[in-house]
Homo-oligomer: A and B are copies of this chain.
Amino acid sequence: MNQNNLAEPLDFNLTCPIPIADYPRVTLAHGGGGRLMRDLIQKMFLSAFNNPYLNQLTDGASLAMTGAKLAFTTDSYVVRPIFFPGGDIGSLAIHGTINDLVMCGAKPLYLSVGLILEEGLPMTDLWRVINSMSSAAKLANVQIVTGDTKVVDQGKGDGIYINTSGIGQLYKDPIGPHLVKPGDGLILSGDIGRHGIAIMAVREGLEFESKIESDSASLAAVVDDLMTSGIEIHCMRDLTRGGLASGVIEIAQSSKSQINLVEDAIPVREDVQGACEILGLDPLYVANEGRFVVFAPKSEIDRTLDIMRRHELAKESALIGQVRTGTGGLVSLKTKIGTSRIVDLLSGEQLPRIC
């Protein structure tokens, strides 16, 4: 059972709308601009993502917005394997781009989907991914309004790569590192490291007592509550590639402030910690797909925690650090044994292709 209960396709029992007997696998012709591509778009994509914008079937969607302050974001997803405990590349692509928008302080409205399919991809895998995208988008109340499909030769891709770009409407002026101030509290929305470890466990064939599932989830609802609470949120960041450490370091650098973290306050599940030890990883750097940090003024920390904890996916929210005057760009960690160490960017990555 996915702990966030958001990534499960709602209705995967629906029959694949492309006849599997005729087209068991994606062919180059499905990306060729002819009848097969039209069928794929009309029978599969339009039925799954059904909305008036997409149904126009023009090269782009024409959108009406009630306001003129937008956020715009893009992300490509190349996760391997495409199905993993707690999600798949489809729900991940929807959640990820929604989360990028909400982290800018924007309400997500419209998404685009660009598919790069590898010739030979089983048609049922494509259908399962499309279904999962549709479910994730509906649950987060965003619309997939425009799309594109390309097919590359076998051996020039890896099943499916997905780009999702998104448009959101800013709640107010943009938030970000430029608003981060000494004294701000740093709140983390829950335990870290689950997404990266869920992926690695599948790849490495690791077995744990309880299955470790990705934390992949849309943060739209909890951020909506925060942004409409009247609390002056300064900055938010989701903790994807590079994990908590890289996210916080980037903010320390952009805001030219020092950030002090307290290791004891950062929740890591025991099984995730154990897996990290086996794999030689530091959970601070492991990717998450449904975790975020919030920078809020000191006086608003309790109220921020209170709002976040009302949401199942942020019920373990905790204050994990503070912004200080001091050395701009520096992140320090007070360890469990009471010493202090500098947290630095890794040169590459711990885990390739986890998103």
Contacts and interface: CB of A to CB of B under 8 A. Distances in A.
Nearest to A345: B35
B68 A72 contact: no
A254 interface: yes
Interface in A25-59: 27-38, 56-59
A116 B72 contact: no
Nearest to A156: B158
A267 interface: no
Q: How many copies does the complex hold?
A: 2
Interface in A153-189: 153, 155-158, 161, 163, 165-168, 170, 174, 176-177
Nearest to A115: B76
Interface string A209-232: 000000000000000000000000
A187 to B, nearest CB: 18
A104 to B, nearest CB: 4
Contacts of A68: 64-68
A332 interface: no
A100 interface: yes
Interface residues of A, number: 89
Contact of A163 (B37, B76, B101, B240): B76
A25 B100 CA distance: 29
Contact of A112 (B32, B74, B145): B74
Interface stretch (A124-132, A335-343, A347-355): A347-355
Nearest to A235: B58
A7 interface: no
Contact of A65 (B27, B70, B348): B70
A63 interface: yes
A103 B58 contact: yes
A71 B353 CA distance: 32
A28 B28 CA distance: 27
Contact of A242 (B28, B33, B153): B33
A11 B115 CA distance: 32
Contacts of A174: 56, 58, 62
Interface of A: 27-38, 56-78, 99-101, 103-104, 106, 110, 112-116, 145-148, 150-153, 155-158, 161, 163, 165-168, 170, 174, 176-177, 237-238, 240-243, 246, 250, 254, 287, 345-353, 355
Rank and list the top 10 A-B pairs by shortest CB-CB distance, nearest first. Answer: A32-B349, A29-B348, A60-B73, A33-B241, A33-B242, A74-B112, A165-B165, A62-B174, A163-B163, A59-B100
